Chain A
Amino acid sequence: GENVEQHPSTLSVQEGDSAVIKCTYSDSASNYFPWYKQELGKRPQLIIDIRSNVGEKKDQRIAVTLNKTAKHFSLHITETQPEDSAVYFCAAPPQAGTALIFGKGTTLSVSS
């Protein structure tokens, strides 16, 4: 089955710095790669996603890149702010339209 590995498990940055979180997946049939943000005590929320037919997608300060050959995808956050502090999860489905398998999460701390 699909295995999604996420690194690092914790990440501390200064406000204004960039943050990068990386995930690898095992199933080459995976074609959809979302990222979720979970603030303390709240539900996970989708912040950005990418499909396998594109290599990069941006939305303001966040971007996701995908390397299908290497089976990895990354979340990039630029100009980090304290409100970016949260747990971030990557995910991938073993096959198109099936249930998502999540990474173990990255706790991002942005200090001002």
Chain B
Amino acid sequence: DVKVTQSSRYLVKRTGEKVFLECVQDMDHENMFWYRQDPGLGLRLIYFSYDVKMKEKGDIPEGYSVSREKKERFSLILESASTNQTSMYLCASSFPGREGYTFGSGTRLTVV
């Protein structure tokens, strides 16, 4: 079974803090993705990556950045956390050409 592991299940951070959300997959997937999930808004794409050191903006990249230094790890960075970034963050991975994703369990981030 492919495993996509997100380092924290719950996080509480203060406004203005720099926040790192980590995602690791163990099946050598080239593609990795970050989404945020909010009630009534579904899953919205923040950033994605098709290769090491490569990144592409999704639909809502403002206030976020990403890092992919190793194939198995894709980090989401909130440069200066704000209360409107309180959300569930989902990481996913896939093989190229196989669009079916495997999701992590999610990180519920609360910014106070």
The answer to whether A and B interact is: yes
Question: How many positions in chain B have a CB within 8 Å of any CB in the partner chain?
Answer: 22
Q: List chain A residues, Cβ under 8 A from B45.
A: 99-102
Which of B41, B43, B44 meets A44, CB within 8 Å? Answer: B43
Task: Name, among B42, B48, B100, B101, the residue most crowded by chain A CB atoms within 10 Å (CB to CB).
Answer: B42
Which of A1, A9, A32, A104 meets B99, CB within 8 Å? Answer: A32
Which of B90, B97, B100 meets A46, CB within 8 Å? Answer: B100
Q: Whole-angstrom distance between the alpha carbons of A6 and B42 in the complex?
A: 10
Task: Name, among A9, A44, A89, the residue most crowded by chain B CB atoms within 10 Å (CB to CB).
Answer: A44
Q: Whole-angstrom distance between the alpha carbons of A43 and B6 in the complex?
A: 11
Known: A43-B105, A89-B43. Contact between A100 and B90, CB under 8 A? no
A39 → chain B closest CB, angstroms: 12
Q: Across the interface, do A103 and B42 meet the contact criterion of CB distance under 8 Å? A: yes
Within 8 Å of chain B (Cβ to Cβ): is A45? yes
Q: Across the interface, do A102 and B42 meet the contact criterion of CB distance under 8 Å? A: yes
Q: List chain B residues, Cβ under 8 A from A45.
A: 103
Which of B40, B59, B90, B104 meets A101, CB within 8 Å? Answer: B59
Q: Across the interface, do B103 and A9 meet the contact criterion of CB distance under 8 Å? A: no
Q: Whole-angstrom distance between the alpha carbons of A6 and B41 in the complex?
A: 11
Q: Whole-angstrom distance between the alpha carbons of A42 and B99 in the complex?
A: 20
Q: Across the interface, do B103 and A99 meet the contact criterion of CB distance under 8 Å? A: no
1/0 per residue, CB under 8 A from B, across A34-55: the answer is 1010000011111001000000
Known: A99-B33, A99-B48, A100-B99. Contact between A43 and B43, CB under 8 A? no
Q: Whole-angstrom distance between the alpha carbons of A1 and B44 in the complex?
A: 13
Within 8 Å of chain A (Cβ to Cβ): is B58? yes
B109 → chain A closest CB, angstroms: 16
Can you identify 15 A-B contacts, CB atoms within 8 angstroms? Answer: A43-B104, A43-B105, A49-B99, A49-B100, A93-B99, A97-B99, A99-B33, A99-B45, A99-B56, A100-B33, A100-B99, A102-B42, A102-B43, A102-B44, A105-B42
- Which residues does B use to contact A, with CB under 8 Å? 33, 35, 40-45, 48, 56, 58-59, 90, 96-97, 99-101, 103-106
